[in-house]
Amino acid sequence: MQAMQTKRIYLDNAATTPLCDAAAKAMAPYMESGAQAPFGNANSLHSIGREAFSVLEDARARVARALKAHRPDEIIFTGGATESDNSAIVGMALGARERARLAGKHGPFKVVTSRIEHEAVLETSHMLRALGFEFELVDNDGLGRVTPEALKRVVDENTLVVSVMAANNEVGTIEPVAELCSVAHAAGALFHVDAVQALGKIPVDLKGWGVDAASFSAHKVGGPKGVGVLYLAAKTPYVAYLPGGGQENGRRSGTQNVCGIAGAAAAIEFAVAEQPAYAARARAMRDDLYARLGAIKRVVPSVCVPCGSEEFLPNIVNVCVRGFESQTLILQLDMRGICISGGSACASGSLDPSHVLSALGVERNLAQGELRVSIGVENTQADIDAFFEAFKEAIA
């Protein structure tokens, strides 16, 4: 067995990213011990609490500017993207149902989403059904796209919420968010977008998209884990998913993580500023790796990504290796110092093929050999070269 290399090469940035310098610097004062450190509860009235509140509201304003929200109070800080997704979908469904009943409508009311969503969206189906909602899936095409025409066939006057991701976390397909949002609004439904993988890779424009809600995660763009962002447009009907002390203007109770939020704001600002240059670098590496892997007979790209395409994320390469299982290859590459995944990190322990590849029509046996390489801000062409050589060794 080959020994682990001294230097590890990390190519699993769609799962999480290293803490960036801007976030680390922003968080540093809050990591100190003692009563003189800025440790205050942002909801306390004394001076230490007011200082924390000032930091919190400054972070809110900065995130709103970076994401092009209409105003800062549309930004809600959460414990992560999963909470943001759940809160948006369930909270808006309950709020919209309440509004519909006041208008004399009685349903049955439904929520619509796509087959290739992250589990944080798809798994809300169990809670929604328990709360009396119907849950319907809209089909995607062979590239993972949800077209406006497909959505029109599913939504109707009883649809309260539509949720479609901005970009897929496994294969990188970018969805036509603004067009899908228009279809939902034309049917009288609210629209939520899971924009976790889009942030920092493609331009994010909440006002331009016209969405009612959007979810983001700090740790996907160099921020700390455990901090999420929920954008909720003003006057959107919403019932708080986490009731309690009434923090975040009554929309998300719980004492705010000021340290993490300060780091999240810095990371999001940095990711948005660096996005054009990073996307160009990553796209060149993505295209090179797809070309090299595609020349190996047993390697099959999960989707066809044309060279230079901006219809897919610039940082994701997803292939299936015929005759291998993902776990075997991941461990073989790990022994060679290369860190990648077999698709979504949230499902990495599962032996079942990816639900995303199944929705794309990839055969089960082939899908079990899925590999995802996701390129980060710090990766270089030398990292791609090292991965390719290690990959050839692993399958030899």
Give the single-character DSSP code of 377: T
First-to-final CA distance of the chain: 14
Spatial contact of 371 and 318, defined as CB atoms under 8 Å apart: yes
SS3 8: coil
346 is catalytic: yes
| Catalytic choice (181, 259, 339, 346) | 346
Close Cβ partners of 74 (under 8 Å, ≥ 6 residues apart): 64, 231, 232, 233, 234
Close Cβ partners of 275 (under 8 Å, ≥ 6 residues apart): 200, 201, 202, 203
Dihedral angle at the C-alpha atoms of 205, 80, 378, 384, nearest 10 degrees?
-100
Spatial contact of 311 and 141, defined as CB atoms under 8 Å apart: no
Close Cβ partners of 14 (under 8 Å, ≥ 6 residues apart): 169, 197, 220, 315, 316, 341, 345, 372, 374
The count of other CB atoms within 10 Å of the CB of residue 240 is: 18
The DSSP-derived string for 74-127 is GEEEES-HHHHHHHHHHHHHHHHHHHHHHTT-----EEEEETT--HHHHTHHHH
CA–CA distance, 283 with 385 (Å, rounded to integer): 15
Give the strand pairing for 213-217 and 159-163: unpaired
The count of other CB atoms within 10 Å of the CB of residue 141 is: 13
Residue among 134, 142, 93 nearest 115 (CA)? 142
Catalytic residues: 346
